Structure 1
Amino acid sequence: MNGTVTPDAYGTLIEPTTLKIQRLLPGPIERVWAYLTESDLRSQWLAAGQMEMKVGSTFELVWRNDELTDPPGTRPPGHSEEHRLESQVTELDPPHKLAITWGGTGGVAFELEPQGDKVLLTIVHHRISDRSTLLGVSAGWHTHLDILVARLTDQKPEPLWDEWVRLKVEYEQRLQV
């Protein structure tokens, strides 16, 4: 397989409070980078928000999860139609690495590595403080990455909320800490 790594779709704990999740995506790397950094493309799988490509720049991520899949599935209690998060670029090496702050956690790093005609995306979410947040974040990244894969391969993604609820239960079993 030309040395290409095919990662498990599930996130794993690489430290007690650090989640790592990977996906092998169709390239080229510049296309995947655009889906991480350009608001109009990122809003198709994660969250909108104009991001200046400069370390130290601040921006706001805006989630509208009900708009990511059709149908969106049943939104769980406690989740709103829109969620906003102030963030800041903390590391930047286009088109290989982007790291940003993420609310009350230690931040998120996105790394891209070419693998033939594909790109390995590795997301590391640092210092997730409690189990409930860890389960939500794990299911969230997994669901959003599945939507990204669907967008990049012209497939129809599964209903976001139904997948998130299902995956949260799976992560509760998988991430025993």
Structure 2
Amino acid sequence: MTGPTEPTALHCDQFLPHPPATVWHALTDPDLHARWWAAGDVRPVLGHRFTLDMGPWGEQPCEVTAVDPERLLAYSFAPGTLDTTITWRLEPEGTGTRLFLTQEGFDLNSPFGKAAFDGMGDGWPHVLDRLAALLAQLAV
């Protein structure tokens, strides 16, 4: 019998009191994206390649792997080093949106993968808080 395996994916969700179109815009507009997470030419176009400026961790390459406007955006994140996929899923909830975030594919057997998993596990809730704060500013 084997023991429980450690998960290799991070999951977060947050209710945002804004319609999916507004949340989608913040996820896919490069200028807004830079204000709540990282600068980069993110665009909701399948196959689009871009980089995200992760500050001390440098420019990280990404490629859009799935798009369903106002519902789903997924992209590879740091292929060749971290090799994860980030997926944003939006579900209408009342007058707002439930935003689900998954980052998966971490190699927990590598020190870099384990450090990234631990760091982003702590970091994603703060990133989502910054997104919520930006959306609140834009709504005023």
| Shorter-chain TM-score range | 0.7 to 0.9
1:28 and 2:19 correspond: yes
Residue 110 of structure 1 aligns with which residue? 88
Paired amino acid for 1:21: C
CA distance in 2, matches of 1:35, 1:122: 14
User: Sequence identity, in percent?
Assistant: 31
Paired amino acid for 1:109: T
Residue 148 of structure 1 aligns with which residue? 131
- Displacement of 1:27: 1.2
Q: Residues 92-143 of structure 1, C-alpha deviation per residue, up to 9 Å, x if partnerless?
A: 0001000000112331110000101110000011111223221101122111
TM-score by length of structure 1 reads 0.65
Q: Which has the higher strand share?
A: 2
Residue 95 of structure 1 aligns with which residue? 70
**Which 4+ stretches in 1 moved above 3 angstroms?**
none
Residue 58 of structure 1 aligns with which residue? 49
Structure 1: stretches of 5+ with no match in the other structure: 1-14, 65-79, 155-177
CA distance in 2, matches of 1:42, 1:16: 28
Paired residue total:
124
CA distance in 2, matches of 1:139, 1:91: 26
